[in-house]
Structure 1
């Protein structure tokens, strides 16, 4: 997928951009910036199929929903795992933004999607956006959007590599002349780092923690490489032996060890991407 607009007019007027991610969905309105940043989670009534909550409200229900209500992540490993729920979520978010903004005409919607998205998934995304009130729908591969976002000269013949680590996947792409020359995608992302930390705490401290706690640890003291000063933090969880709450102190060097395997998978993917890149670039 190439950038659908001519160079020099990177983002058109009267447009909305959507980053449909495994972990979070973001919506950008030109002239206002990011107007929505919500978890990609939907709470649904089992019996009726009606939505009980979307985004942060639904995420708070994960693991604690009342009987008859389920909280699900419709995006998994960077792709659409549940078409119907993804469509409802995207339609809900877009309707919320379009209804609360004054557009002279129906807005055009640009959706960032994984580079390996299928035609069926494209159709589901397009139908959802049109149903929410979009005039036109364009899809852009996530690596291309990331490259434009950081200001890389994507329209030149010079190759630029982008490594986009998302919640469910990591996409590595080499971009030149407004197109993706080569790309590699692996189902390893931030979620895998969190799971590795959960497993490390269980194995080394007999401490049970949830993925939200693991994410906090990753953000606060995690690193892929020694970064000068070593940091530490208190981690609260449940002792797997006694069953009672327990607090331990964890060092950044331990978390570096915990995430070593998924980090190495990303490094190996970058190496493979370089191997298939044309030598002229």
Structure 2
């Protein structure tokens, strides 16, 4: 897709509807919303009980008449009505004040690379239902590259890997456009699912969703030692609560397996790039962004497989919305090509 920086500068808000978190950037204000993309609904009355962090804490702990839903899955809006209700609750008075200052403002939203027309239409309808007069679609890869501070507007190669909750996107950019890109269905949720399945197969233990985080800390070396890594869950056979000690080396091997799909995507993108751009990348390296960019062992695995320098963005989880906000503020300037004098 092509974007117009002039039209983006007319937008008032920028939205990043991710499978894990929703972020909203208000022009001349900054980031005003950074909450989990979760909503809790009373299925008897249809009332909204909670959204964001409150609804996420309810996951797996609700009675039968309360359902926790995720209106965004795989990088696309799957429940437009619920996404609108969630956004309306999250932005609250902050966005209503902006609406009063400028009736029916334009909005910009991130969409995954090569998103199909239905996914694009769902993103547009989500924001138009909130009152946006016009919605501009921006590729997540381009927005994240701008948010990381990469010189995407220059005639030189920049490579970015955006690791989300459901998908990972890889791209090489030059002159403000995407030269080659790939998207694979591997993300933070895939890693967590692999860890949960490993613990179930090895220890006959069902882990709650919150039990995976301590294992991430142990893998990164920021948690307890290997001997003290203990998790609590439900026994598969008896249904009783039980605790087991986890072999971190075994978890590390489990985590590396699904990440090989990302390595294949990186290789496919490099093979489709001109040699001059690949030579640029050998010096500049690869930028990691996205909420799952800090997965333990991901950076070292990518560095070993490609032999290129690897950099992790300062704030990898908010790169996309910050880049989109920079476009709204007019901070991105394309290279002006003057015609040669005859």
TM, length-normalised to structure 1: 0.84
User: C-alpha displacement at 1:130, in angstroms?
Assistant: 2.8
Match for residue 256 of structure 2?
260
Match for residue 144 of structure 1?
142
Task: Confirm or deny: 8 A CA contact 2:33 2:91 kept in the other structure.
Answer: no
Unaligned ranges ≥5, structure 2: 278-342
Deviates more, 1:252-261 or 1:193-202: 252-261
Match for residue 154 of structure 1?
152
Partners of 2:69 and 2:78 lie apart in 1 by 10
Q: 1:34-83 CA deviation, whole Å, 9 max, x = no partner?
A: 22121112223435544333222322333333333322112222223333
Report the structure, 1 or 2, having the larger strand content. 1
SS in 2 for 1:272: helix
Partners of 1:169 and 1:136 lie apart in 2 by 27
Count of aligned residue pairs for this structure pair: 274
Match for residue 59 of structure 1?
56
Report the structure, 1 or 2, having the larger helix content. 2
Partners of 2:100 and 2:153 lie apart in 1 by 30
Match for residue 39 of structure 1?
36
Q: 1:196-242 CA deviation, whole Å, 9 max, x = no partner?
A: 11111112233221223214422x1335xxx8999533322233355
Deviates more, 1:27-36 or 1:14-23: 27-36
User: C-alpha displacement at 1:84, in angstroms?
Assistant: 3.3
Partners of 1:17 and 1:277 lie apart in 2 by 31
Match for residue 222 of structure 1?
219
Per the alignment, do residues 96 and 229 of structure 1 end up closer, same or farther by CA in structure 2, a change over 3 Å counting? Answer: closer
Task: Confirm or deny: 8 A CA contact 2:77 2:123 kept in the other structure.
Answer: no
Match for residue 201 of structure 2?
203
The answer to whether 1:279 aligns with 2:275 is yes
Unaligned ranges ≥5, structure 1: none
Partners of 1:268 and 1:34 lie apart in 2 by 34
Deviates more, 1:143-152 or 1:233-242: 233-242
Partners of 1:28 and 1:141 lie apart in 2 by 16
Q: 1:134-184 CA deviation, whole Å, 9 max, x = no partner?
A: 343222111111100110011112121111010010011111111112111
Task: Confirm or deny: 8 A CA contact 1:112 1:145 kept in the other structure.
Answer: yes
Partners of 2:2 and 2:36 lie apart in 1 by 27
SS in 2 for 1:146: helix
Task: Confirm or deny: 8 A CA contact 2:77 2:122 kept in the other structure.
Answer: no
Deviates more, 1:176-185 or 1:208-217: 208-217
User: C-alpha displacement at 1:186, in angstroms?
Assistant: 1.0
The answer to whether 1:126 aligns with 2:114 is no
User: C-alpha displacement at 1:115, in angstroms?
Assistant: 1.4
Per the alignment, do residues 103 and 215 of structure 1 end up closer, same or farther by CA in structure 2, a change over 3 Å counting? Answer: farther
RMSD: 3.0
The answer to whether 1:70 aligns with 2:67 is yes
Per the alignment, do residues 55 and 230 of structure 1 end up closer, same or farther by CA in structure 2, a change over 3 Å counting? Answer: closer
Deviates more, 1:42-51 or 1:156-165: 42-51
Partners of 1:228 and 1:83 lie apart in 2 by 39
Task: Confirm or deny: 8 A CA contact 1:28 1:35 kept in the other structure.
Answer: yes
Which of 244, 250, 259 does residue 246 from structure 2 map onto?
250
Partners of 1:136 and 1:26 lie apart in 2 by 19
Per the alignment, do residues 63 and 135 of structure 1 end up closer, same or farther by CA in structure 2, a change over 3 Å counting? Answer: same
